[in-house]
Chains A and B, each alone.
Chain A
Amino acid sequence: MMTALLFVTALGASEAMQQAFENANTAYQAEQFQDAARQYQEIVNAGVADPVVFYNLGNARFRMGELGPAVANYERALQLAPRMRGARDNLRYAIAATSNRLARPLRDSWREALLFWDDSLTLTETRWGGIVLWVAFWAVLLARYLRRDKRLTYAAVLLFLAAAALITSTYAKQFPMQLAVASGDSVAVRTGTSDDDTLRFELKPGDRVRVQDTRPGWLQVSTVNGDRGWAREEGLILVGPPYTAPRAPETP
């Protein structure tokens, strides 16, 4: 009875989300981008982490002229669905519209070296692939226990390596490089965590940087070119996960 009640509640919430998604789409098509962005954002705030919602939200933000939030949402969509063609194209378009046109920072060298193959796989694919191979490995190991056969030994080794690769990839996707996107008009990056520290360089809306360290109110960021410094947290949107609500740029 209780399970049935929970199921019905979840079903109702899901229907409500679907309705909100459709309303947001309608607002977008009526060129009410602000309204559409608000509704997409509400879906995200309700705990939905769907690449299509992030993609549509990115579009709405782009139409509103907010390059930073647009880039951040396209990046989120691509984190969840790396093969999503529309998100890739629109991210390219948005980056081309930024002032600095900075490329995305590179991943750690160990990730680049070990996980060069997993760019186009989603977290779900690597996770379930890893689980299936892991179960298969133990099954083959059990079969080998029952029947000593060299072929089973080879199969077990191969399955173990494949499962380990997919599990490592899953881990890397669950804890990706922490990316942030500049959202303020001009985000000052300084040598230290004080406004009195020397200005190193400035980020423009849509510039993507890697977050390397945090201090209260400050993030240590680095660009793809290796420039590094501290920027105020409020000027940057953390891409996630977790997919927190991006801050709207301050209006004068």
Chain B
Amino acid sequence: MRASAALAALCCLALPAAAQPSVSAALDRAVVGVDQYFYLTVTAQGTRVSEPELPVAPDLVIEENAQGHRRSMQVQIINGRVTQTVTNEWTYEATFSSVGKKEIPPVKVQIDGKDYLTPKLGIEVVAQSAIRSQPQQRPGTRQPSAQNQTPPTEMGLDDLVYLECEIDRNQVYQGEPLLLTVRFGSYWAPGVMVRGAQGNSISLPSIEGCYEGDIHRDERYIERDGQTYSETAFSRAIVATRSGDLVVPSVSWQGRVTAPTRFGPSSANVEKYTDTLTLHVKPLPDAPGNFSGAVGRFSFQTSIEPGPVVQGAPKKFTVLVAGEGNADSVAKPDFPDLDWCHVTEPEIQVNQLEGPLQFEKSFVYTLTPSESARHTIPSIEFCFFSPELGNYKTLKSNPVEVTVKEGSESGDLVVVGGTRSEQSGVLEVLGDDIAPIETRHRGLSKPPLPLAADVVFTGVPPMAFAACALLLRHRRRLEEDTGYARTRRARSRSMKRLRKVAGSADPAEELYKALTGYLGDKLNMQDAGLTSNDVSKVMSSEGFPEALRDGYAKILRACERHRYAGDTLNAHEVQALTEAAAKAMDDLDDALAEQRRARA
């Protein structure tokens, strides 16, 4: 029993105790461009650690699949107690799609069944143009292979960092921008650590009598004297606002440098200073009246929005000034007065291009044509001081020909653009208020007729025309074509005769006439005097079937017998013969129809 307890106690001692759970998160940079990748690293210590739950924030996109997952285990035995620390580290790529100071919400990680949150992280997102000079590669891929050696022995700790300040020109004109650059570099090798007193930033000098632009930061790896350094360049445009000699003060850096040596890591506090610089600023010569205030190298162009120019439709007209200089000093150009359209005050937009001095400044005017005709927008001037020439230079745009099409609301054109007050003062075209409602109205109308009604309305007249035309043709043929008229009327005439047979004094005669008349009309031939033999011959020559011929002739012969014998048919005979005659006429019709079909 005692042995078991001792064994259990030994096992308890031998079982490693888990380290206290902890989570943390870090970003690989403090400033990043819009849509530029940065790395979010989440570190969690614990035995059973789940995948982090990535946070959600506006404009933040974090790639779901971690770029890297590292797991390390450390076992420590202190005074016989074993402590096991398992560290998980995930690295995610992330981007922000808008500018500003952003916050990354806490990341949730589950350790040993409990939820832990990292602290919030802050990052500043700036426009791409402001960081364009920074390496565009994703972090982690841009580093050169580090020097696999300790710094050379002849290099002291002081030599592992450097600080330089320079201006790109010593002489400038008043208003002409120049570039001030401060470079800080540190030796790039494993184990070399440089920590500045102000973190990663350096205070740029403030120069009295100068306008100072935004600071641009550029990080890169360079080679100096055969050694690789990680260099951060801070640059800003400065513009002298007065003439004379200006002094660029010294820049300083204080920090601690640690580097591996043969005898182990060595560290020391290091201070670096740059020399003061002198800048000679020359005054500008007397300016012409159209001087815009810009000093530098510029190009100038105008353009009108593509597409048709329509009366009453706003159209954008852009004046673009691009070049190297102080964008703030470029004033809006004088836009000519145009009596055929309304012109708004320009919307001004500045795009910083590569480097702190390159920019594009656009002045976008909204033109609203009020007259449809061919018009010209006269040339626009831009006068600036050119340091290369040492004199003023005026650029002129080409006149723009514009054809204004008539608008869909031309009769009631609203001249738009500008402010309401400007409109009411200059272009009063509207009343003070909307017109009142209409109250006297009876008979609210339903939606218009559907398309089917239109089809009916358009279809009926041609059909009526066709019917009338056929009718007229029929009547004309009846008048002009005897054969057609006889054929068309044969049936009605013969039927009328058949109806008279029963009441006739000589039914056999009447029946005979009806049958021969019908045949005569149908075949357009003389029917008077036809005998049963004649009928047989005619029907034979016309190709009628034998049964029809025989049937027809048989009725006629019966009638002939009674006519020539002088006796009278009784009522039964009359009815039988009339029915047989009607059937024979029907058969004749059928035979004729058959013949027509055969001919067709």
Where the two chains meet, the residues of A that have a C-beta atom closer than 8 Å to any C-beta of B are 14, 17-18, 21-22, 25, 28-29, 43, 47-50, 52-53, 55-56, 59-60, 62, 85-86, 88-90, 92-96, 100-107, 119, 123-124, 127, 131, 134-135, 137-139, 141-142, 145-146, 167, 170-171, 174, 224-226, 241-243
Of chain A, the residue at the smallest CB distance from B450 is A174
User: Is the Cβ of A49 less than 8 Å from the Cβ of B445?
Assistant: yes
Within 8 A of A (CB), among B271-326: 305-308, 310-316
- What is the minimal beta-carbon distance from A198 to any residue of chain B, in angstroms? 10
User: Is the Cβ of A89 less than 8 Å from the Cβ of B408?
Assistant: no
- What is the minimal beta-carbon distance from A180 to any residue of chain B, in angstroms? 16
Q: Which of B306, B308, B412, B439 contacts A88 (CB 8 A)?
A: B412
Of chain B, the residue at the smallest CB distance from A122 is B448
Where the two chains meet, the residues of B that have a C-beta atom closer than 8 Å to any C-beta of A are 305-308, 310-316, 368, 405, 407-409, 411-412, 414, 416-417, 423, 429-431, 433-439, 441-449, 451, 454, 457-458, 461-462, 464-465, 468-469, 472
Question: What are 17 A-B contacts with C-beta separation under 8 Å?
Answer: A14-B443, A49-B445, A50-B444, A52-B438, A94-B434, A95-B416, A101-B368, A103-B314, A103-B407, A103-B408, A104-B407, A106-B310, A127-B448, A127-B457, A131-B458, A141-B465, A241-B447
Instruction: Report if A174-B448 is in contact (Cβ < 8 Å); known contacts: A103-B408, A134-B461, A145-B469.
Output: yes
| Candidate in A141, A171, A224 with the most chain B CB atoms within 10 angstroms | A224
Q: Which of B439, B447, B468 contacts A142 (CB 8 A)?
A: B468
User: Is the Cβ of B457 less than 8 Å from the Cβ of A134?
Assistant: yes
User: Is the Cβ of A224 less than 8 Å from the Cβ of B313?
Assistant: yes
Which A residues touch B407, using CB under 8 A? 103-104, 106
Instruction: Report if A55-B438 is in contact (Cβ < 8 Å); known contacts: A47-B447, A95-B414.
Output: yes
- What is the minimal beta-carbon distance from A2 to any residue of chain B, in angstroms? 21
Instruction: Report if A90-B435 is in contact (Cβ < 8 Å); known contacts: A103-B407, A134-B457, A224-B313.
Output: yes
Which B residues touch A146, using CB under 8 A? 472
- In the complex, A167 Cα to B461 Cα: how many Å? 14
User: Is the Cβ of B437 less than 8 Å from the Cβ of A59?
Assistant: yes
Which B residues touch A47, using CB under 8 A? 446-447
- In the complex, A22 Cα to B442 Cα: how many Å? 10
- In the complex, A243 Cα to B447 Cα: how many Å? 9
Instruction: Report if A134-B458 is in contact (Cβ < 8 Å); known contacts: A28-B437, A62-B434, A89-B431.
Output: yes
Which A residues touch B312, using CB under 8 A? 103
- In the complex, A92 Cα to B438 Cα: how many Å? 18
Top 6 nearest A-B pairs (CB, nearest first) are: A226-B307, A101-B416, A103-B313, A138-B461, A49-B447, A86-B435
User: Is the Cβ of A226 less than 8 Å from the Cβ of B464?
Assistant: no
Which B residues touch A86, using CB under 8 A? 435-436, 438
- In the complex, A2 Cα to B312 Cα: how many Å? 55
Which B residues touch A48, using CB under 8 A? 444-446
Of chain B, the residue at the smallest CB distance from A173 is B448
User: Is the Cβ of A96 less than 8 Å from the Cβ of B430?
Assistant: yes
Which A residues touch B414, using CB under 8 A? 92, 95-96, 101
- What is the minimal beta-carbon distance from A161 to any residue of chain B, in angstroms? 15
User: Is the Cβ of B447 less than 8 Å from the Cβ of A242?
Assistant: yes
- In the complex, A47 Cα to B306 Cα: how many Å? 42
Which A residues touch B305, using CB under 8 A? 225
Which A residues touch B368, using CB under 8 A? 101
- In the complex, A17 Cα to B445 Cα: how many Å? 10
- In the complex, A59 Cα to B429 Cα: how many Å? 19
Which B residues touch A95, using CB under 8 A? 414, 416
- What is the minimal beta-carbon distance from A42 to any residue of chain B, in angstroms? 12
Which B residues touch A100, using CB under 8 A? 314
Q: Which of A60, A85, A92, A138 contacts B462 (CB 8 A)?
A: A138
Of chain A, the residue at the smallest CB distance from B368 is A101
User: Is the Cβ of A131 less than 8 Å from the Cβ of B457?
Assistant: yes
User: Is the Cβ of A89 less than 8 Å from the Cβ of B458?
Assistant: no
Q: Which of B416, B438, B441 contacts A96 (CB 8 A)?
A: B416
- In the complex, A95 Cα to B311 Cα: how many Å? 15
- In the complex, A34 Cα to B368 Cα: how many Å? 35
Which A residues touch B445, using CB under 8 A? 48-50
User: Is the Cβ of A106 less than 8 Å from the Cβ of B308?
Assistant: yes
Instruction: Report if A56-B442 is in contact (Cβ < 8 Å); known contacts: A138-B461, A225-B315.
Output: no
Which A residues touch B430, using CB under 8 A? 92-93, 96
- What is the minimal beta-carbon distance from B310 to any residue of chain A, in angstroms? 6
Which B residues touch A88, using CB under 8 A? 411-412
- What is the minimal beta-carbon distance from A200 to any residue of chain B, in angstroms? 13
Instruction: Report if A103-B438 is in contact (Cβ < 8 Å); known contacts: A47-B447, A48-B446, A95-B414.
Output: no
User: Is the Cβ of A170 less than 8 Å from the Cβ of B307?
Assistant: no
- In the complex, A241 Cα to B446 Cα: how many Å? 13
- In the complex, A31 Cα to B478 Cα: how many Å? 77
- In the complex, A86 Cα to B438 Cα: how many Å? 9
Which A residues touch B472, using CB under 8 A? 145-146
Of chain B, the residue at the smallest CB distance from A81 is B445
Which A residues touch B437, using CB under 8 A? 25, 28-29, 55-56, 59-60
- In the complex, A94 Cα to B435 Cα: how many Å? 11
- What is the minimal beta-carbon distance from B440 to any residue of chain A, in angstroms? 9
Of chain A, the residue at the smallest CB distance from B433 is A93
